[in-house]
Amino acid sequence: MRYALPLIALLASPAFAKTDKPVPLCSGPIKPSLFISPMGEPFRPRGNAEDPLKRWFDQADANHDGKLTVGEMMLDADRFFATIDKDHSGELLPDEVYAYEQDIAPEIRLYQRRREPGDKGRPEDDDRSRPKKRRGSGAPDGVMGAGHFAFLNIPNPVASADDDINRAVSQKEFRAAAAERFRDLDVAQQKALSIAQLPRTPAQIAANAACLQQLRDKREPRR
């Protein structure tokens, strides 16, 4: 097989992809960015007005009541799992996870740790699934892979669901990961999340910062 799932323990809770301090929101137009769902499904912008995050939320919110529950997130995980499980075996094998990285969400490969020339590394050194923490409230320091475009800083949301580290992700593991990630997002333990309660992604934070800078540049007189 061309790809082996990283053989690392993924027991630490992923860091939130949000700032520690409130950041003012830009009043100008912010171009929609790629959004990657908690389970790793990419949602790309459709024009300048469409919000990919809202498209995912509306899809996952099965009863359309404006609230996302853990059951709905697990059902959404089941749906996405079925699209990756090409052979319908009930398990995501290494080749299927590789195909996910290459064909479904290639953007996550652009933000992986670079190895030095000649450094083959070991499977346990692979950072594609290892949660990274952020510090401070500025740029998304330490964010990798899908974490740039997601609520939680999980470089590879699909591979990281391999809880027993056996190089295959079962549907049961994928559903369990969905429930755990819902709990990570449900900080107030309300059992339901509105779209307003969800954190901003690093990509959204960066776009907001760029917009604020543009407004500052327009207001400052030229010397």
Helix/strand/coil (H/E/C) assignment for every residue in the chain? CCCCCCCCCCCCCCCECCCCCCCCCCCCCCCCCCEECCCCCEECCCCCCCCHHHHHHHHHCCCCCCCECHHHHHHHHHHHHHHHCCCCCCEECHHHHHHHHHHHCHHHHHHCCCCCCCCCCCHHHCCCCCCCCCCCCCCCCCCCHHHHHCCECCCCCCHHHCCCCCCCEEHHHHHHHHHHHHHHHCCCCCCCECHHHCCCCHHHHHHHHHHHHHHHHHHCCCC
List alpha helices for 24-116, DSSP H: 52-60, 70-84, 94-99
Give me the mean pLDDT over the 141-157 stretch. 91
Q: Are 14 and 154 in contact, with CB atoms under 8 Å apart?
A: yes
pTM of the model: 0.73
Token pair belonging to 6: 């990283």
Choice between 20 and 198, residue whose per-residue pLDDT is larger:
198
Place of tokens 């997601």: 150
- Per-residue pLDDT at 109: 83
pLDDT of residue 206: 84
According to the model, what pLDDT value does residue 208 have? Answer: 72
Tokens representing residue 61 in the block: 């919110």
Give every CB contact of residue 53 below 8 A, 6+ residues apart in sequence. 35, 43, 195, 198, 201, 204
Does the pLDDT of residue 85 top 80, yes or no?
A: yes
Task: State pLDDT tens for residues 185-197.
Answer: 999 999 999 999 9
Inform me whether the pLDDT recorded for 135 exceeds 80: no
Give the 3-state secondary structure of residue 30.
Answer: coil
